[in-house]
Structure 1
Amino acid sequence: MLRRKPTRLELKLDDIEEFESVKKELESRKKQRDEVDVVGVTPSEMSSSVGGSDGKTREQTIHERIGYKPHPKSNTLPSFFGNLQF
């Protein structure tokens, strides 16, 4: 098995400055979004939006999002043994 020598990464001053500027920009966007959300939403709207839309449970929302439609199983004898008729 061939082994590769460890790679060395060099961090330059320009990279650090770019990282700091992007970080500040993302934080400012987050603050603006949070301010808009807090100002524009009343407590009653907040509780209804947290609970989900249309009174669906979290599981139902996930199933709808991924396209899963479970079929209920019946508890009759033919379902246990297939369609065998005696």
Structure 2
Amino acid sequence: MLAATMRLHMVWVLAHGEQDVSSLAEKVGGTVPAVSQHLAKLKLAGLVRSRREGRHQVYVVDDPHVAAIVAQMVAHLQGDPVEAAPIRGLGA
């Protein structure tokens, strides 16, 4: 699910706080329909959850382990060996 660059970016943003679809689309540089499709797949996979806030659905990463893994992936891609180090208890 995180092999798609857009989904990885979306999970990275959502790991830092709740977002509605429009705000998330703006932050990741995607269209609202495309972001909505990606969110549906992430939600089905159990990587994000949503709740209704008025007329909007608000999304957030559902599992702190997923947020940690995404942080490690981003750090690795940025070449930061300290942040990319394995987390204790999660293997490797």
Q: TM-score, length-normalised on structure 2?
A: 0.20
Write 1 or 2 for the structure with the bigger share of strand: 2
* Higher RCO, Cα 8 Å, sep 6+: 2
Write 1 or 2 for the structure with the bigger share of helix: 1
Q: TM-score, length-normalised on structure 1?
A: 0.21
